[in-house]
Amino acid sequence: MRRLALLAVPALALLGLPGAALAHPKLVAANPAADTAVAKPTRLSLTFSEDLVAPLTGIDLVMTGMPGMANHAPMPIKGFKTDVKGKVLSVSLPRPLPAGTYNLKWHAVAGDQHRIEGQYAFTVR
Ligand SMILES: [Cu+2]
């Protein structure tokens, strides 16, 4: 089994060759970065490994907790604007995010049209 698995890797790599130029977008940097605590931001940015397709790339932002409030229900944050330039997705918030914890779910589409998703959390102090 182990031997078969090792042999399968180069075969898959060969199969993957035509798609190599159209790689899936990977998140390479974010501001605020994952698992960090920041002062109240009015802008978020996500930088990917590939040029993005604007209308198919975006985020959902949910407040998951607030200081001093137990059992905070997930609260979607609405009203932001997203803007895509090349590999960077920028999010402008209408007002600074209040103190709390947030979960950001992103979806991104690059040249091969496949929707790739991911998520991370950050804290506003
Ligand atoms: Cu793909």
Is pTM beyond 0.75? Reply is yes
Do 101 and 123 contact (CB within 8 A), yes or no? Answer: yes
Q: Summarize pLDDT for 61-95 with one digit per residue, the tens.
A: 999 999 999 899 999 999 999 999 999 999 999 99
What residue ranges define each of the domains in the chain, with the CATH number in brackets?
Answer: 23-124 (2.60.40.1220)
Task: State in Å: Cα 84 to ligand 1 middle.
Answer: 19
> Between these two residues, 44 and 3, which has the higher pLDDT value?
44
Q: Which strands, in side-by-side order, build the sheet including 43-48? A: 27-31, 43-48, 88-92, 81-85
Q: Residue range 120-125: average pLDDT? A: 98
Task: State in Å: Cα 111 to ligand 1 middle.
Answer: 8
Task: State in Å: Cα 85 to ligand 1 middle.
Answer: 20
State the pLDDT at residue 12: 46
Report which of 90, 124, 125 is spatially closest to residue 106, judged by C-alpha positions. Answer: 90
Q: Summarize pLDDT for 33-60 with one digit per residue, the tens.
A: 999 999 999 999 999 999 999 999 999 9
Task: State in Å: Cα 99 to ligand 1 middle.
Answer: 37
